[in-house]
Amino acid sequence: MNIVLFGPPGAGKGTQSKYLVEKLRCFQISTGDILRNEIKKNTEIGKKISNDMNKGKFVSDEIVNGLIKDLVFDKKNKDRLIFDGYPRTLSQAQNLELLLKNSNQKIDFIFFLNVNKDTIIKRIKKRKEIEKRSDDDLNTILKRYDTYMETTKPVLDFYLKNPNFHEIDGSMEITEIMRKIDTFVNV
């Protein structure tokens, strides 16, 4: 089963995808984790990613799509993928469709965790205290939230046509969101 989880920064995608990975024995493709890993390795791509993220910009589709491709085509991940924060743009959504088609896979469920800005602010402040993530600067997150909402509208429109698309109120408690997702996945 392949699942796409998307929503603004701080919507709880990571929490929900970790839950689904454990429940379904799937492989999590977290663009945030992949990008942070490139930064940590201090590669040329990592430096570019860091520069973009620090400015509150999203990393280019070209970079993200390249990093995702190998994971999709890895045979041990076939039909066992949880996409956490990917796709973020229409180009990425179209790329994912193509990658899955070329690897003889499909998307089984798409969950959009819809959360308002006030909830995001509260969550980011709490996450910053607990996880001490370097990308949790509030001003940067707010810029990323606004950018996300602008760039993701076409992705939302793209997936709304898919019968496996489900919008979930991401401001609910973590366990409520899990229960809601379980009603669809029901494994």
> 58 versus 92: which is more confidently predicted?
92
pLDDT score at 133: 60
Residue 79 lies in domain: 3-185
17 sits in the region (left: phi over 0; alpha: psi -120 to 50; else beta) called alpha
125: pLDDT strictly greater than 90:
no
Q: Per the confidence metrics, is the pTM higher than 0.75?
A: yes
d(CA 56, CA 59) in angstroms, rounded, equals: 9
CATH number at residue 82: 3.40.50.300
What average pLDDT does this structure show over 76-87? 93
Domain count, the chain: 1
- Mean residue pLDDT of the chain comes to 88
More confident residue, 141 or 35: 35
On the question of pLDDT at 11 being above 70, the answer is yes
**Could you give the count of Cα atoms lying within 13 Å of 38 in the half-sphere of its Cβ?**
22
Q: What is the mean pLDDT of residues 85-102?
A: 92
- Considering only CA atoms, which of 20, 50, 24 is closest in space to residue 35? 50
Amino acid at 180: K
Q: Hey, which of 89-98, 116-125, 146-155 has the most confident mean pLDDT?
A: 89-98
pLDDT(134) > 70:
no
Tell me: pLDDT of 187 over 70: no
Quick one: CA dihedral 8, 12, 15, 17, positive or negative? negative
For the four alpha carbons of 1, 91, 156 and 150, in that order, the dihedral sign comes to positive
Query: Does pLDDT of 132 surpass 70?
Result: no
- pLDDT of 140 > 70? The answer is yes
- The pLDDT value recorded for residue 135 is 57
